[in-house]
Amino acid sequence: MPKQPIGLDHKILTLGSCFADQFGQWLTHNKFQVLGNPFGTTYNPVSIHNLLLDSLNEIIDSDLYVERNGWWFHHAYHSQFSATAKEELTHTLLQKQREVRAFLQQADLLVLTYGTAWVYELISRNQVVANCHKIPAAKFFKRLLTVSEIIESFSKLIQRIKTIRPDLRVITTVSPVRHSKDTFELNTVSKSVLRLACYTLQQNQTVDYFPAYEIMMDDLRDYRFYERDMIHPTAEARDYINRKFSDQYFTPDTVTLIDTLNEIQRALAHKPFQVTSHAHQTFLKDTLRKLESIKQHLPVTAEIEHVRAQLIHHA
């Protein structure tokens, strides 16, 4: 158990690759206070760090806007952030920055998930971008980040964070998703750079490392744990990794509460043939008692109201 276990009252911000999306959704499903990957999927560490740093400094690089087919994008942001007018996109990005900045000022934990060390530099700016937005490849130069670049980028970010949230804990992890488009050989090179960077960052007492990548590669070393694309982990694999995280970071009481909640959620997911049947009414009453037993620790008001609405009240 870590020195400071994660509790349900902690505010958690996740950033990074698609694994950060999944991880944030899992935490939200379990009633944690989470802002999950607010900038969308971002794969390389430098871009992940810069998104957060720019939000804290209230900066949007005006030279990284790009227009394509009547739509405006920004090379530092995911393609989900787009608009038909540059001003509209700027407004959206500023709103997102404010949301992240406000959350970070109260956050207890920052989870960073790195996907790849391969980056694309905008040649005209000699600058790493998060997204090329289908602009011609000739405008970019692909290269591998170095460990020292990642460390330097992280150091700038953490120094800035400490000015507003000095006690913030950071957990880094390497995404277990292979980037096959780089070839498996170069994906291994990329993951190696990320892993070495995380190992170096881990020497800082405020930074921990969770081995999602190692669990997938070494513990779940079988293709039955992969989706049909043979790249992304299955739901079973994700559940296994999440359980490893909860065992490592959550208090026993938190784990018990989550298990109870999950049991209730699975039961409520099944639709009965007859809501008014004696068996289902008995089930609803049992479920309501379980919900009442955890409501002081978890926000389950919606679930309680859902169950009560199905109960038949006899005069």
Over its length of 315 residues, how does the chain's per-residue pLDDT go in tens digits? 456 789 999 999 999 998 889 999 999 999 999 999 999 999 999 999 999 999 999 999 999 999 999 999 999 999 999 999 999 999 999 999 999 999 999 999 999 999 999 999 999 999 999 999 999 999 999 999 999 999 999 999 999 999 999 999 999 999 988 887 888 899 999 999 999 999 999 987 789 999 999 998 888 777 677 777 777 778 888 889 999 999 999 988 999 999 999 999 988 887 777 888 888 898 899 999 999 999 989 999 999 999 999 888 753
For residue 191 the two structure tokens come to 């993951």
The residue ranges of DSSP E strands in 59-212, in sequence order, are 65-68, 71-74, 109-114, 118-122, 127-129, 140-144, 169-174, 207-209
- For residue 203, the SS3 value is coil
pTM for the full predicted model: 0.91
Under 8 Å CB-to-CB from 19, ≥6 apart: which residues? 113, 115, 173, 175, 176, 177, 212
What are the structural domain ranges in the chain? 11-250, 251-315
Q: Give dist(CA 252, CA 225) in Å, integer.
A: 27
CATH number given to 11-250? 3.40.50
For residue 229 the two structure tokens come to 């694309």
For residue 112 the two structure tokens come to 């960073």
Under 8 Å CB-to-CB from 3, ≥6 apart: which residues? none
